[in-house]
Amino acid sequence: MFQVPTKTQYAIRALVHLVHVKSASVASIAEAECIPSKYLEAIFGKLKNAGLLIAERGRNGGYRLAKDPALVRMSEVVRATEGEIRIVECVDNAAICLLGQGCLPRHFWLGLKDAVDLYLESVTLAEIANPDMSSV
C-alpha cells in the first residue's frame, strides 16, 4: 500500500525538532531523532534549497527554520524532499497508459492525488509540532 518515504519522514521529524529548539546542528538533531547524520545532511541540503532552512556558520552555527512554522505547509516539505506526488504514473500523463484517457480507474487516481494534495496543503509544521493547537 502507500507509504511515505523515509526521507520525508526524517525531514518532518527534524523540522519538528527545530520548531522546539530553534537552532541546532545536524549532528545534534540526528542524535536526538535517531536519524543517520549523513542522510540528514543530504535532506537538509534539499530543505535549504527549497527555502525552508537557513544554515548559520560559526561556533554556534547550525540550522534554523527560514520562516514561521505556521507558514510552512507540509506540501512544501514533501515537494522539497520527494518532488511532486505521483500516486500512479498516468496521473501526470495519460499517454503512459495503453488505455489513455479511456482508463476509467484514472479518475479514481486523480481524485486520490487531489485529496492527498489538499491535505498536505492544509497542515502546517506548527500544527504537527504542537498537536494541541490543531485538528490533525
CATH code assigned at 18: 1.10.10.10
Determine, yes or no, domain membership for 75.
yes
Tell me the whole-structure pTM to 2 decimals.
Answer: 0.88
Determine, yes or no, domain membership for 32.
yes
**43, 30 contact by CB (below 8 A):** no
User: CA-CA distance, 12 to 9, in Å (whole number)?
Assistant: 5
Determine, yes or no, domain membership for 64.
yes
Instruction: Return the axis-axis angle of helices 26-33 and 37-49, rounded to nearest 10°.
Output: 120
Hey, what's the cell of 55?
544554515
Determine, yes or no, domain membership for 136.
no
pLDDT at 102 over 80: no
Q: Which domain holds residue 74?
A: 6-84+124-131
Task: Give CA torsion, residues 42, 89, 3, 77, to 10 deg.
Answer: 40
* Pairing of β 62-65 and β 23-24: antiparallel
Sign of CA dihedral 58, 61, 63, 67: negative
pLDDT tens per residue, range 7-60: 999 999 999 999 999 999 999 999 999 999 999 999 999 999 999 999 998 777
